[in-house]
Chains A and B, each alone.
Chain A
Amino acid sequence: MRIFKLKIDFVYIAILSIFLFIYSCFIYALTSHNIAEAINDMVKGHILAKLFIPVLIAAALLYLVWKAIVRHIMKPVKKIAEIAEEITHEDLSARVDIKNPNKETKYLISAFNDMISRLESSFKYIVESNSYIAHELKTPIAIIRGEAEIALKKERDNEEYKKVISIALDESKKMLKTIEDLLLLTKMTYRPEFLNFENIDLNQFLNDIFEQSKILTAEKNISVDISVPEMSERVKADELSLRRLFFNIIDNAIKFTPQNGQIKIDVKYQKKKAIVSISDTGMGIADEDIPKLFDKFFRANKEKNRYASGSGLGLPITQSIAELHKAKIIVKSKLGKGSTFSVVLPILSH
C-alpha cells in the first residue's frame, strides 16, 4: 500500500514538473530578446538540460506545500470523522469541539452536532417509551393474571367470577388506552404532518366545547361556566387535535375537582393572541410538581405523577398539540384551592 502511495506521489510530481517546464518555456520565450533563438534553444534541448533539476525540485516542493494545505483543511473533517466513529447508540453524548474554526468548518461542525443532538433525543424517546410501555402494560397483565389464578384455585360463586371478569375488562381497556395514547404521542412528536390546519372561529369552537363539558361534569354535579368576548377571533388549527387539547385539560379538571365544584372557561383576546383559561376548584398542584406535569413518560421513569390519570400521557399529548399550534400552556395553582390552565394561542390577523 505504502509503495503504491509513493508511486502516486511521483506521478503527481512528474505531472507538476511537466506543467512547470512548459510554463518555464513560455516565460523564457516571452522574456527573450530574440524569440527565434529561444525556440531554437528549446528544440535543441538546451533549456531542458538547464531547467530539469530546478523544475523537478520546484515541483516536489509545490507538491509538499499543497499536501500540507490539504492536510490542514482536512484536519477538522478528520476530527469529525473520528468522533462519528466513536458514536454508538449507547453513547450519543459526544460532540465535535474545535478551537477557532473557520466559517465553513464552523458551519459543518454545528450541522454535525445538531444532527447528533436530534439523534440523541430520538433515542432517548425510544428508550423511555420502551420502559414506559413495559411498565404501564405489565401492571394490568399482573392484575388480570393474578385475579384469574386466584379465581381458578377453587370453586367460587358466580358473583366472584363476575368480579374477576369485570376487572379483566377494565384492565384491558386501560391497556388499550395506554397503547393509543402512546401511538398518538409518537405521531405528534415524529409525524406532525398528519394534522390538517384550517381557520377556526374560536368563539364557536369554545362554545361547542363548553356544551359538551356540561355533559361530562354532570356526574359529579360540577358547574361549568364560560365567558367569551362578543367579537370572535380566528385561529389556524387542526380542529380534532385542538379539541383533544381542551378536553384533556377539562378532563383533568373534572378528575381533580370534588363533587359540586366549579369549572370556568374564560376567554380573552389580545392583539395577537387568544388566552383561554380553564380554572377549577380542585385539589391544586404543588409548585414543585407543576414543571413535571408535561414530562413525557414521567410516571414510568421517576415517580408516579399524582396529577396524571389514565395512561399518564394526557398532559404530554396536550403539550405536544400546543407546540404544533405554536401555543403555550401556563399553569397556575394553589394547593387545596384549585388550578388554572391557560392556553395562549396565536390568532389570525384580520
Chain B
Amino acid sequence: MVNGYFDILSVCIVLNPRTLIMKRILIIEDEDRVRKIYAQLLTDEGFEVIESADASEAYDVLNKGGIDMVLLDIKMPVVFGSILYEIMQSFHNKVKVIVASVYPLDEQKRIVKGAVDYHDKSHGTQLLLEKVRKALLEDS
C-alpha cells in the first residue's frame, strides 16, 4: 500500500512541469554571446543556470556536484567537448548531456556518442528548450 502510494506520487511529480524548475543546468560554451543567450533562455524558464567558458572550468563545477544537465559545445579551445564528455562518462555518468554545436546533427552524433540529445545551434532557442524539457522529464 505504502509503496503504491509513493509510486503514484512520483508519477505526479514527473508529469508536473514545475518539477523542472529546480533543475540545475551547466552551459559549457566558449562563445560568450551564445552562452549568454542560453543562460537567459533557461533562466527565464525557471532553471538554475551555471555558465562555463571552457572544459576545465566546467569540470571543476561538475566535481562540486548538484548538476542535473549539461549543455555541451563540441569545439572549444584547449579541451574539446567530446573529450570532456568521455571524462564525464567515467565520473559523472548520471548527468544528462545535450550536445549543442553548429556541426550538423549526424556529425555531432559521430563525434559524441550516446548523449541524451543533440542540437544544432542555428536551429533556434525554442527547439533547444523543448529538447531540454524532454530530456529532464524523461529521467525523474
A residues with a Cβ closer than 8 A to B are: 134-135, 138-139, 141-143, 145-147, 149-150, 153, 167, 171, 303-304, 306
Contacts and interface: CB of A to CB of B under 8 A. Distances in A.
Interface stretch (B1-9, B57-65, B75-83, B131-139): B75-83
Given A150-B125, A303-B78, A139 B41 contact: no
B73 to A, nearest CB: 10
B40 interface: yes
B104 A139 contact: no
A304 B75 CA distance: 7
Given A135-B103, A149-B124, A303 B77 contact: yes
A150 B41 contact: yes
Nearest to B78: A303
Given A153-B44, A171-B33, 17 more contacts: A134-B102, A134-B103, A135-B102, A138-B102, A138-B120, A139-B102, A139-B121, A142-B122, A143-B33, A146-B34, A146-B38, A146-B41, A147-B33, A150-B37, A150-B40, A303-B75, A306-B77
Given A135-B102, A153-B44, A304-B75, A143 B125 contact: no
A150 B40 CA distance: 8
Interface of B: 30-31, 33-34, 37-38, 40-41, 44, 75-78, 80, 102-104, 120-122, 124-126
25 contacts: A134-B102, A134-B103, A134-B104, A135-B103, A138-B102, A138-B121, A139-B34, A139-B102, A139-B121, A142-B34, A142-B122, A143-B31, A143-B33, A143-B34, A146-B37, A146-B41, A146-B121, A147-B37, A150-B37, A150-B40, A153-B44, A304-B75, A304-B76, A304-B77, A306-B77
Contact of A167 (B33, B104, B122): B33
B86 to A, nearest CB: 16
Contacts of B125: 145-146, 149-150
Contacts of B31: 139, 143
A138 B75 contact: no
Contacts, number: 57
B29 to A, nearest CB: 10
A303 B80 contact: yes
A141 to B, nearest CB: 5
The 4 closest A-B pairs by CB, nearest first: A146-B37, A142-B121, A138-B102, A304-B77
A340 B44 CA distance: 48
Given A142-B34, A143-B34, A149 B40 contact: no
Given A139-B34, A303-B77, A303-B80, A146 B103 contact: no
B40 to A, nearest CB: 6
A306 B30 CA distance: 12
Contacts of A149: 124-126
B124 A146 contact: yes
Given A139-B31, A139-B34, A303-B80, A145 B75 contact: no
Best-surrounded residue of B77, B80, B102, B121 (most CB of chain A within 10 A): B102
Contacts of A141: 122
A141 B120 CA distance: 11
Given A134-B102, A134-B104, A143 B37 contact: yes
Which of A138, A142, A171, A303 has the largest number of chain B CB atoms within 10 A? A142
Contacts of B104: 134
A303 B30 CA distance: 12
Contacts of A135: 75, 102-103
A303 B80 CA distance: 8
Contacts of A138: 102, 120-122
A341 to B, nearest CB: 22
Contacts of A146: 33-34, 37-38, 41, 121, 124-125
Contacts of B121: 138-139, 142, 146
Most interface-central of A139, A167, A306 (chain B CB within 10 A): A139
A149 B121 CA distance: 13
